[in-house]
Structure 1
Amino acid sequence: MITGLDHIVVLLEDVKAGTAAYEVLFGRAPSWQNSGDGADRVLFTLDNMSLELMAPHGSSAEADRIRSVIKGSGEGLASICFRTPDIAKMHRRLDRVALRPEPIAELENRDSVSGATLRWRRTRAATDLTRGVRMFFLELAGERPRSVATVPTPVLGLDHVVIATEESERAAALYGARLGLDMALDRTHADWGQLMFFRCGDLIVELVRRPGTSGDRLHDKLWGLSWRVADIEAVRERLVACGIDVSEVRDGRKPGTRVMNLRSGTCGINTLFLEQTPREP
């Protein structure tokens, strides 16, 4: 039913500042911009998903709701939306596995720059049943335009989205048995904790239970993002030149990868850049 990750929503107080930050991080221009229904929205569409920046706009119930969420939880990762080719079938599955989906809504959005229109059908699972993670499911009528690269070293796509949990078995049952994602890895390490990887299209939904933590056992949290790049040294040089605080490049936990952490310029989102090193023949 789920064929991939469609987009992740980031809530911000200032969408212009967020857009400027991600133009630098991604080395790409926005692919879609829109204002309406109480929100300003800017999308960056990469090879395998979109990142949607959203901020409250004007005075309305929806704008006030967004402000309330930001006031209560702060800026950052807000929701995740999975792609499906058949929203009606997806809705029936969500209902059968007792995730209490909302009625399917038909929506459309117009890009304020090009005037192009996108249409989609969407449902949402009950957040109290998805362990506190706001979760949507979407059937898109047509593909979104891609974000144009503005530098020779752009971000390519998302490698994995990290979800922190204190109840790994219940979280695994949600993403595996109920949503139907395929578990690729279940590993426990003394320093890292328990890591569970679920395939979602060509990226990974990673569930992490940190060692020695005792947080909220009823609610999981969207925790961070890991982005793919082709040449991590060149990307690091570009970001440092732009004033971004980044770590040194190091070998990743996954064999054949090199990674670096970003410590600024991410709108408060835990962010990792990852290079998959070419395999030797």
Structure 2
Amino acid sequence: MIEALDHLVIGGSAGVYETLLGRRASEGRLRTGNVGLAFTGGAPGLQSMVFATADLEKAATLLERRAVVATREGESLALKGHGVAIGLTARSSEAPSPLAAEEAACVSALDHVVVRTPNPERAIAFYAGRLGLDLRLDRSNEKWGARLLFFRCGDLVVEIAHDLKKGVSDAPDQLWGLSWRVPDVAKAQARLKAAGLDVSPPRDGRRPGSQVFSVKDKTEGVPTLVIGGIGRW
């Protein structure tokens, strides 16, 4: 049913993300190699994620059979996702936005989108059981204080994170942060630093062979990590 993450909706302006991604917006929208961004101009932060499907009508029928509440909104479906706004649309063939700097220093693709949940078993039931995403990892780590669930979606991951110290509750999930891929971490960090962003020095990532750095401002309120060194799959 779901083939990919089509785009994310972010509160704020496309201009901020032109700098972050190193790409030029068109009609207020941006696209990397695997995901698009649309901007509401309203309150900052991640607003929703919209998945892509090859056949919207068949997807609507399957969702109804799986007891997922889905409302038709023009050429897409709006789903009720335990606090996270989720959409489903027909897959597009939109090309990536043009680069505005050296390719090695610009964002190539989204690595993962992070959702925080107070109820990981509910998240598994929804994202795997009802939406049909491929659960690739379920791991608790006391050192990190978290239980992490990785769902493969095309060539990126929907990461569901649960704070172990807070315990389980029926509170809503939160669409939280983004991690972007770059060909060269050092060049990307230098480009953003030169553009006036507050970025951390590159450091070793949790994934063997990877390096990461954090972007601490000018992300429209979205916690942001930049990853390089290895591919996802």
| TM-score band, normalised by shorter chain | over 0.9
Q: Return the alpha-carbon distance in structure 1 between the equivalents of residues 35 and 119 of structure 2.
A: 27
- Partner in structure 2 of residue 149 of structure 1: 99
- Partner in structure 2 of residue 124 of structure 1: 78
Q: Do the aligned partners of 2:119 and 2:168 also contact (CA within 8 Å) in 1?
A: no
Q: Do the aligned partners of 2:11 and 2:220 also contact (CA within 8 Å) in 1?
A: no
Q: Do the aligned partners of 1:163 and 1:224 also contact (CA within 8 Å) in 2?
A: yes
Shift of 1:277: 3.6
3-state SS, counterpart of residue 102 of structure 1: strand
Letter in 1 for 2:19: V
Relative contact order: is structure 1 or structure 2 higher (C-alpha 8 Å, sep ≥ 6)?
2
Deviation string for 1:152-199 (max 9, x for gaps)?
Answer: 021001000000001000011100011001111111101321001000
Q: Return the alpha-carbon distance in structure 1 between the equivalents of residues 186 and 174 of structure 2.
A: 31
Deviation string for 1:114-145 (max 9, x for gaps)?
Answer: xxxxxxx31111x3xx11111100004x5223
Q: Which runs of 5+ in 1 are unaligned?
A: 13-17, 34-41, 57-69, 106-120
Superposed CA RMSD in Å reads 1.6
Letter in 1 for 2:89: L
- Partner in structure 1 of residue 88 of structure 2: 137
3-state SS, counterpart of residue 164 of structure 2: coil
Larger-gyration structure (1/2): 1
Q: Do the aligned partners of 1:259 and 1:272 also contact (CA within 8 Å) in 2?
A: yes
Change in 2 beyond 3 A, CA 1:55/1:216: farther
Shift of 1:216: 6.1
Runs of 4+ more than 2 Å apart: 213-218
Aligned pair 1:225/2:175, yes or no? no
Q: Do the aligned partners of 1:161 and 1:226 also contact (CA within 8 Å) in 2?
A: yes
3-state SS, counterpart of residue 40 of structure 2: strand
Q: Return the alpha-carbon distance in structure 2 between the equivalents of residues 220 and 98 of structure 1.
A: 19
- Partner in structure 1 of residue 140 of structure 2: 188
Summarize the alignment of residues 65-214 of structure 1 with structure 2, pairs less than 5 Å apart. Answer: 70=43, 75-103=44-72, 105=74, 121-125=75-79, 127=80, 130-140=81-91, 142-152=92-102, 153-192=105-144, 193-213=146-166
Q: Return the alpha-carbon distance in structure 2 between the equivalents of residues 185 and 84 of structure 1.
A: 23
Shift of 1:243: 1.1
TM-score by length of 1: 0.77
Q: Which runs of 5+ in 2 are unaligned?
A: none
Change in 2 beyond 3 A, CA 1:28/1:223: same
Q: Return the alpha-carbon distance in structure 1 between the equivalents of residues 169 and 46 of structure 2.
A: 18
Letter in 2 for 1:20: G
Shift of 1:211: 2.8
Q: Return the alpha-carbon distance in structure 1 between the equivalents of residues 95 and 108 of structure 2.
A: 14
Deviation string for 1:235-264 (max 9, x for gaps)?
Answer: 111111111111111111111211111101
